[in-house]
Chain A
Amino acid sequence: MSAPQAPLQLFQADQFVPPEDASRRLVLANDADPREARLDGIDVVELQFPKFADGRAFSQAFLLRRRLGFAGQIRATGDVLIDQLVQMQRSGFTQAVLRADQSAEHGRRLLAHYDGFYQGDAVDTRPHFANA
């Protein structure tokens, strides 16, 4: 079972200071396999978006949250745009550090835009057809 997950928290890159002790944070490279990562004692896994259109971190987040049952924070950093927030939340991210020019307020509206989705995801694992 995946851990219960809080709604996605939004931060601005130019104001964000990581609250956790650096020793409890794991930064995973974009091509790293989360299944090979040592997660003991880790509270935050940081996943990177070198370009917003590079979608590898979505699969990394899925594997961390769903496959490995990681219960800590999964944080999106890098080229993080508000138009990807819904995907991030559904893939298992709990924190998104928005690029400085992004509007968090608009991002929160986008997060609430859809009533539902077809497929299950890292957070709500059941597809729509199984819930109907």
Chain B
Amino acid sequence: MYQYTDFDRQFVRQRAAQFRDQLERFQAGTLGGDEFKPLRLQNGWYIQRFAPMLRVAVPYGEVNSAQLRVLARIAREYDHKEDNDISQANAALSDVPSLPDRCAHFTTRQNVQYNWIPLDRAADVMDLLATVNMHGIQTSGNCIRNITTDAYAGIAPDEVADPRPFAEILRQWSTLHPEFAFLPRKFKVAITGATEDRAATPWHDVGLRLVRNVDGELGFQVRVGGGMGRTPIVGTVIREFLPWAQILNYLEAVVRVYNRFGRRDNAYKARIKILVKAEGQTFIDAVEAEFVDILDKDGAPHTITEAELARVTGFFAEPQALTCDRKSADEKIAHILRVAAEDDLEFGRWLQRNVRGHRNPDLRAVTLSFKRVGQAAGDASADQLDRAAELADRFSAGEARITHEQNLVLPWVRCDQLPELWREARRLGLARPNIGLLTDLIACPGGDFCDLANARSLPIAQAILSRYQDLDELHDLGEIDLHISGCINSCGHHHSGHIGVLGVDKDGQEWYQVTLGGSDGTRLSGAATPGKVIGPSFAADEMPDVIEALLDTYRAQRQDGETFTATVRRTGLDAFKAAANAVRTQTARAATA
């Protein structure tokens, strides 16, 4: 992974010192709350229902074991519920004593969040993060956010090119960009280098795909104007091919046009998707004209040189020299599979669900599942983070990746070490063979923590996790994306779930709107599209039965080998609607009205 230079390290330390100065002025009363807000947000500090929330940047999801240990230490020493005065907080429906603390949370944008660090310890935490080159730069606020990518970047067999060097170059370019720190609204960039889009690029403000043109040259397909929220829109391709060297110049044009013309009168209409939708070709023309001016009049100073790409790419070389021919790798794997089939069905399932192919035939990418009963989706306790760091050191060259699906991937696992890793991971409760299945669900922190949420996500997720523990049943149900958001801001990506659950608020009670057929843009899910609502909202108590009714309908309707979402696409929503309506209890009258 990328190694920080002296310049990078000094930059992160100076950022931490700058934040300490801002915090001290806020505490001294010389910096007002409204003025401190965007400054703290651009360092990852929110104020939530009970306490501040910190979002730590994990650029394109890559994290090393030393960083995992510091994240563990922050969870252990700083993420303390009891250090916050919550007597004045509106607990709403939350059962505060049962809310988790002393843990970190993996987000859908490959970052890490904490929910209980008091603000007066914030600067100390930023100093601690800086010791391992971490920070919260631009993890919130109306700026270019932390860049995300495919969790299997650089190791996936289906890759056109490794997106990580470009993601790092983009990270550097966007970090404290003087012109683009106060955009109309947040601005998210995702980049993939694979033929399969595992980064949900059409759902981002800018979605980049590495492609080759007819001459074999490397470049980007550029999409602009995707986003979820109140108005789910899939991004528009505005360039089929942009030479890679021009990507910073081109993004400068996109963001400048957005900064100048994006709406600032209404936060709900301020994302670039609204500008793209309203202006259409005029927007594209403006970007192209600005790009030409950057090239011709400004001299294109951010053209990426071959030397710079080579320098950054060098950091992403495979961490250890593993010499292995295909035959030897195949033999090892065949042996492992034989042992698995003979000895342990669960190991076989783990190989099937949690272990993925690698561009190096002797290596595998292994996903540690953070979706289990008793802990929120994507939550990792201090001890689990420490143990994950040990696993990374022992089995994966000290590296891990945080995934969009809120798990942890070990990217450099030797195939002959899979049985040992499986035993260790199982001992830690991180070997649940459910990756890609129903219980590998995505959920935001929801109303238990978030000040914006209308309803809680965690109890719904737990109810479904608890109900679907039978592995035979889970594997029979097959690949299903279940995405849960506590409000329309869509942090749980409900729009792109095969089953999407959206928390809504009516009269202070929690209700849930259910959508079917959404897609993140993968082959399994089809072209990116928002799901369709299946009827009036359901009560919280009804939700587990609703999910079960939808799944039972799928089992009754499916044809050979058909996935849930394929059945929904083929049959339409009627049977699913009827089944969901049949389990209504409290909402029966509303549904038939």
Contact = CB atoms under 8 A, between A and B. Distances in A.
B260 A59 contact: yes
A68 to B, nearest CB: 9
Contacts of A119: 172-175, 177-178, 248, 302
Contacts of A66: 298
Interface string A83-99: 10011101100000000
Given A118-B172, A118-B175, A120-B301, A55 B35 contact: no
Contacts of A125: 298-299, 301
Classify chain B: how many residues form its interface, as a range: 35 or more
A53 B38 contact: yes
Contact of B301 (A88, A106, A110, A130): A130
B125 interface: no
B18 A52 contact: no
A99 to B, nearest CB: 10
Contact of A81 (B7, B35, B142, B179): B35
B570 interface: no
A116 B11 contact: yes
Interface string B244-261: 000010000000100110
Contacts of B571: none
Interface in A47-88: 52-56, 58-60, 62, 66-67, 81, 83, 86-88
Interface string B366-403: 00000000000000000000000000000000000000
Classify chain A: how many residues form its interface, as a range: 35 or more
Task: Choose among B10, B31, B179, B301 the residue with the greatest number of A CB atoms under 10 Å from its CB.
Answer: B179
A55 B298 contact: no
A9 interface: no
Given A119-B173, A126-B301, A129-B305, A58 B179 contact: yes
Q: How would you classify the secondary structure of chain A's contact residues: helix, strand, loop or mixed?
A: loop
A86 B181 CA distance: 11
B505 interface: no
Task: Choose among B11, B182, B293, B305 the residue with the greatest number of A CB atoms under 10 Å from its CB.
Answer: B182
A115 interface: yes
Contacts of A91: 178-179
A41 B39 CA distance: 38
A114 B11 contact: yes
A52 B11 contact: no
Closest 3 CB pairs of A and B: A55-B182, A90-B178, A118-B172
Interface of A: 31, 33, 52-56, 58-60, 62, 66-67, 81, 83, 86-88, 90-91, 103, 106, 110, 113-122, 125-130, 132
